[in-house]
Amino acid sequence: MDRRILVEALRLSDQHVPYVLVHVVEAQGSVPGKKGASLIYREDGTTMGTVGGAQLEERAKLLAREALGRHAGGLHHFELRAWRAGGLSSLCGGSVDLAVTYVDPRPNLLLWGGGHVAQALARQVRLLDFDFSVADDRPEYLGPEVFPGARHRILCSPQDLPSRIAASGERFSHVYLLGYDAAKDQEVAFGLLPNFPGAVGLVASRTKAELTRRALKKRGLSEELLARLRTPIGLPLGGVTPEEIALSVAAEIVQERHAHDGKTGATPQAAP
């Protein structure tokens, strides 16, 4: 595989954006793109690399765009012999199998409130190679000795957090409200729910969750926006310690990441 493809794949991964890798896994006869030829398809429709050009490449781009929409790829067989049934309008004389792989962006978490649950969750997600940042209005909860490996340590008020997220340039997949103050958690939720596209989760008892929703509704948030507030968070493992709560949250993220895995078959299929 071309080294430039690998470098671009790493860049996109570090930016937490999805992309599709199209790779020639088998080539027989005379074909323009040999085994190993690869193409990256970005979410804006631009590409890098090639699997051979001409109609094959256009079909590869179409499959890549569909894979982005479905969050799932597949294996596809192409005949480059126009005289064969179902063949592309090509006179190359061979055939190609393409692996279309959807690459989900790695989770990138923002933890509001640097207390025990946030520290436990940070340790857990580092084991999974997820990225995380932490935000708090208390500087003593943001130090590198408390959160080693954090991409960003954001010292700000709850009201300023949305603008600080925008200024960071990060595409966060999840924001978890793990604060020490229910009123401040509410402020963060109020600022994020209307505009933040990712998941917003709140650690809360049933009472706190209900009172938070009531307060946010009274402040003008619609039922549709309130439905975006996840609480409780994590899989229902029954844990109560910070470490157990962190494990349940990480497990929920892993479960969501693999929700689409069963949609990709292992048998090559003829392209339509």
Q: How far apart are CA 166 and CA 162, in angstroms?
A: 6
Q: Which residues contact 83 (CB under 8 A, 6 or more apart)?
A: none
Looking at every residue in the chain, the average pLDDT score rounds to 88
CA distance 131 to 173: 10
The predicted structure's pLDDT at residue 51: 87
Residue 54, pLDDT score: 75
DSSP 104: P
Share above pLDDT 90 across residues of the chain, in percent, rounded to a whole number: 69
Over residues 85-93, the mean pLDDT reads: 52
**pLDDT tens digits, residue range 48-62?**
999 886 778 888 999
Is a pLDDT exceeding 70 seen at residue 101?
A: yes
Q: In what order do the strands lie in the sheet with 199-202?
A: 153-155, 131-136, 108-112, 174-177, 199-202, 229-230
Count of positions (residues) in the chain: 272
| pLDDT for 231 beyond 80 | yes
How far is the C-alpha of 172 from the C-alpha of 174, rounded, in Å? Answer: 6
pTM of the model: 0.82
User: CA 44, 49, 55, 61 torsion: positive or negative?
Assistant: negative
High-pLDDT (> 70) share of the chain, %: 89
pLDDT, one tens digit per residue, over 151-193 is 999 999 999 999 999 888 899 999 999 988 999 999 999 999 9
| Contact present, 102 and 20 (Cβ < 8 Å) | yes
Amino acid symbol at 260? H
Confidence band of 6 (pLDDT split at 50, 70, 90): very high
CA 235 to CA 253: how far, in whole Å? 9
Q: What is the pLDDT of residue 266?
A: 36
The domain locations on the chain are 3-104, 108-257
pLDDT at 93: 61
**Long-range contacts, stretch 103-106, CB < 8 angstroms, 24+ apart:** 103/9, 103/12, 103/13, 103/18, 103/19, 103/20, 103/21, 104/18, 104/71, 104/257, 105/12, 105/13, 105/15, 105/16, 105/17, 105/18, 105/171, 105/173, 106/13, 106/16, 106/130, 106/131
Q: Could you tell me which residue, 239 or 246, shows the higher pLDDT?
A: 246
Contact 175, 199 (CB under 8 A): yes
Superfamily of domain 108-257: NAD(P)-binding Rossmann-like Domain (3.40.50.720)
Per-residue pLDDT, 27: 82
* pLDDT of 265 over the 60 cut: no
Higher per-residue confidence, 200 vs 53: 200
Q: Which residues contact 166 (CB under 8 A, 6 or more apart)?
A: none
Summarize the confidence of residues 112-130 as an average pLDDT: 95
User: What pLDDT band is residue 90 in, cutting at 50, 70 and 90?
Assistant: low
Dist. CA 158–CA 179, nearest whole Å: 10
pLDDT band at 83 (very low <50, low <70, confident <90, very high): low
> With contact defined as beta carbons under 8 Å apart, do 234 and 121 qualify?
no
Contact between 5 and 49 under an 8 Å Cβ cutoff? The reply is yes
Q: How far apart are CA 17 and CA 194, in angstroms?
A: 21
